[in-house]
Amino acid sequence: MKEEEPTPYNDGYLQVSEKHKLYYHQYGNPEGEVVLQIHGGPGSNSKPKHVNPYDLKRFRVVLFDQRGCGKSQPAGLLDENTTSDTVEDIEKLRRHLNIEKWYIHGPSWGSTLALLYAQKHPETVKKLLLRGVFFASETENDWLFKYGANQLFPDKFEDLMNIIPSDKREDYLEYLYEIAKGNNKELKEKLFTNFGKWEGSILSLFPEEDEENEIDIEKEIVSSSIMLHYSVNNYFLEDEEILKDENIQKLKDIPMVIVNGRYDIVTPMISAWKLHKALPHSILDIVHLAGHHGSTDVEMVKAIQKWIDFDF
């Protein structure tokens, strides 16, 4: 039987700019310790299942969809959609929900936002749990889309390249981004469905065999468009901005656990290692026999469960 999804005790929309309205939903104990769970991406969305690891009698878990993502409105809008916008949206949400301080759990791109938010608003953060650390650096971006992951998954990458015009393959991200900003719906469906498959193929240590599951085309177009918007624009950050000494020092008093799969292809171990070396007070948990995925890699699921109570 299909497991029932958790039901929020409260949800709603928050107008964060003239153009953007964020969807948020809350679960668990309204009087409990507050945890903000930040979804990955860019371009993904929050899901009720993201609260499954938590003791909902103890925690009040807050989820939200970033600008243009999930149920936030308007879907897929790229205007006024930058990293600094999202960081400030998190603060607007905290104030809107009358939360003094909260724990933050940030997986993947969520770790980027969690670190940036904690650097800007350290006084509001009790503890950080980061999984699959991503600094949104040029090196990480190149690894993911140009010269790293494709060395380990050449068959999957070739599937993507085969649908890209040969004269566009060297700068294929820029090509796809131009398509994302255009109005050719048929081309978007073809390209972004395959772009999504490429990303999905490298998430887990033991990738599932391709299945003929029904694909939500509109969701794929939105997700890929936002991912390309951020990737091509260097995530709207200076290179390795998070690791600059004046920024990293702002995190030295915030308790932190860093969890990373040894065989994470999306966010390789080196970033988690750099963060741990820069912040020796942090706890680094290297999960063997795990990739990037937080719900399909069994050992990663166990590790998340171990640290989710933030008892460290």
- List the catalytic residues: 108, 264, 292
First and final C-alpha spacing in the chain? 36
Q: Within 10 Å of residue 151's Cβ, how many Cβ atoms?
A: 10
How far apart (Å, rounded) are the C-alpha atoms in residues 129 and 190? 37
How far apart (Å, rounded) are the C-alpha atoms in residues 255 and 274? 17
How far apart (Å, rounded) are the C-alpha atoms in residues 177 and 225? 7
How far apart (Å, rounded) are the C-alpha atoms in residues 114 and 104? 7
- Please give the single-letter amino acid code of residue 145: F
Handedness of CA 292, 297, 301, 303 (dihedral sign): negative
**Beta strands per DSSP E along the chain:** 10-15, 21-28, 33-37, 59-64, 102-107, 125-131, 256-261, 283-287
Q: Within 10 Å of residue 276's Cβ, how many Cβ atoms?
A: 19
β-bridge partners, 33: 59
6 Cβ neighbours under 8 A, 6+ residues apart = 27, 48, 49, 51, 52, 56
Residue 311 near residue 283 (C-beta atoms within 8 A): no
- 132, with CB counted inside 10 A (0-12, 13-18, 19+), is buried
Residue 87 near residue 116 (C-beta atoms within 8 A): yes
